[in-house]
Structure 1
């Protein structure tokens, strides 16, 4: 259903819709524009299936990651995180024989974590010179472009920089970022072309900021890596407020606003999806910049939330209805799913048989918020307790 200038157009909804899927599959380059707010690796399986049907999806990614190799890069260069951008582009890269397999292999490679600093620097220098086998396998002129970007990184790399476990794709992105006046969009565009990425991937903002989370027990947590429980003790108290902060050492609240080009991307979407993944550090984090709620509300296309089917270490209490309420709050909704300018959510997409939703879900609670509930098959024996990428892609495509 869409609403353009007061005219509402409805159609019967079939999920999955084999006719639509067949049409999209025949010409994915003409496929629908589905926009995702997210980060992390949660939507990866979905993206790898999605490119079979559309090359026009849009992914607005949170740049606030503060763990792993992203943390090392951010400390060295005072920049937004690029790891989630690279992950998403790799998930959307053309895996067919027409894609650049050598580029994908290089961009997905990590330097060995056990090697000493001298060996790692020599390996990077060999890549810059084109002598490394992984780089040598890339055909020209792509090889020269990659070598140039790695060269920019090497020239700016601090003497103390730790290359252990570094992603070569991340180093290429950082080299391009530094060489383009500390702007991410030009190098992300180039990376997209090099890896034959079938979609548009952009950071939701380009600022060097971090996440802050106020917990129910009053504590303040600074840094995305401290929320996920991967390398830090898991949270022991629920998150009650998420925000942005300057740095990781002390509370310095910050704000950010989306650029006009991001608002224009939101305006082009034929479907907006809030997908599976870490609820706070991936989904809600991507909605923190001002202007997001207004842009979403201004687009009359359908909007759908896909809740996690497995436990989320960041979401300690509540079920699907609580996640929906928090999502609506983050988008500025005041009357159910509506805010000034229009609706920010229309549907919640659920598996019709899965009993493992954390905290459960209640149809009446969702319908009382003015939302439609769509039930279909999303979890398979092989994918459980997670959603199956193919089934989720087919369900979303059927809504467009």
Structure 2
């Protein structure tokens, strides 16, 4: 057991706080995460046992897979990571909506014949597909309406290979609601009884770009992450937002008022595991994020990724902390102490003590080594991670 100082003394794990959360998750703490991708999904699934009140601000700048096909077809933000987190937080029990969950999670085969794939979507729209027939009205009709909106607007050569049906439904809902994400995310959350709040950090169709330490620039999330392109072989110096291949001022991309309110209501703010730049730092770029966080009197915790992160090439733990602080300070003001933006770093006990010491020496932020890994050496134990976060509130 480790004792750390917040505005109070806390023990990690705190057996009383953990037990309280597990016994009444509907009254659980408001934990807020800035994330994207799938790295936090397993922890999010476990988190449902501790709290129904977590909030997840997700980057809409993904440019790979099914999301990219939709972005190119409809000039819209990426929805894949949003759908993925909604599914991770959905009530998967028999008391939830398992039929809708199955539909939203269905993915068309990657090697399917184009005509056959389009026909399958047409069967869904017509209400003839087994997955849609299993969904009761009026939700089934609403889903069909969203899919119809998508299919009518989709180009005839739309590539359905590997498409997530949930992504297509989100795209249709986006088009049906005046090209706004928030209404359809709200509706989908209600459909599958999401145990928390999932929102895009902004509702903008923008791309990510990075500047490398050798001066080169790379545009596009899939080029940065190394998942659909060769990994970057030079350290990343900074991340920026881009439009039509040109960097834009983050001041022109304000954090929506509804998300500022969500941050202010949080009991704890977490910079969680995930690709350092495209999943975590990307959410911190919009104007107002740093200022809003700096005003919050709550724990602000960095839980760094384990294993190899291609985006963190050549970066020490202290360097990764600096990468998170950079856009926050650019917004909140360079004079703002680092501890107003990040109060603690939580690492597994396998982390090098010297790396933790460097974090404190460079940034003045306490860095704590805790047993957070059990069976998989490069994955946090979901229960241990959730218990640690809940204990800090």
TM-score if structure 1 supplies the norm length?
Answer: 0.92
Q: 2 CA distance for matches of 1:335 and 1:390?
A: 36
Distance apart, 1:178 and its partner CA: 0.1
Aligned to 2:294: 297
Structure 2 CA distance for partners of 1:337 and 1:352, relative to 1, 3 Å:
farther
Q: Please, which of 189, 198, 217 is the counterpart of residue 220 of structure 1?
A: 217
Q: Please, which of 322, 347, 352 is the counterpart of residue 350 of structure 1?
A: 347
The alignment's C-alpha RMSD in Å is 1.8
Aligned to 1:126: 123
Distance apart, 1:323 and its partner CA: 0.7
Q: Deviations over 1:332-364 (max 9, x none)?
A: 07678727xx81110000112355x9xx71325
Aligned to 2:77: 80
Check conservation: 1:367, 1:373, Cα contact below 8 A. Answer: no
Asked whether 1:34 is paired with 2:27, we answer no
Q: Deviations over 1:29-49 (max 9, x none)?
A: 111000000100011111011
Aligned to 1:189: 186
Aligned to 2:157: 160
Q: 2 CA distance for matches of 1:261 and 1:269?
A: 13
- Which 10-residue stretch deviates more, 137-146 or 60-69? 137-146
Aligned to 1:45: 42
Q: Please, which of 304, 311, 315 is the counterpart of residue 308 of structure 2?
A: 311
Q: 1 CA distance for matches of 2:63 and 2:118?
A: 23
The runs of at least 4 consecutive aligned structure 1 residues that moved more than 4 Å come to 333-337
Structure 2 CA distance for partners of 1:306 and 1:45, relative to 1, 3 Å:
same
TM-score if structure 2 supplies the norm length?
Answer: 0.94
Asked whether 1:390 is paired with 2:373, we answer no
Equivalence map 1:65-104=2 (5 Å): 65-104=62-101
Q: How many residues align?
A: 385
| Gap runs ≥5 in structure 2 | none
Q: 1 CA distance for matches of 2:249 and 2:79?
A: 20
Distance apart, 1:313 and its partner CA: 0.6
Q: Please, which of 251, 254, 259 is the counterpart of residue 257 of structure 1?
A: 254
Q: Deviations over 1:3-33 (max 9, x none)?
A: xxxxx99432111111111111111111100
Aligned to 1:3: none
Q: 2 CA distance for matches of 1:368 and 1:183?
A: 42
Q: Deviations over 1:213-257 (max 9, x none)?
A: 11112211000000111110110111112101113xx33535311
Q: 2 CA distance for matches of 1:337 and 1:163?
A: 48
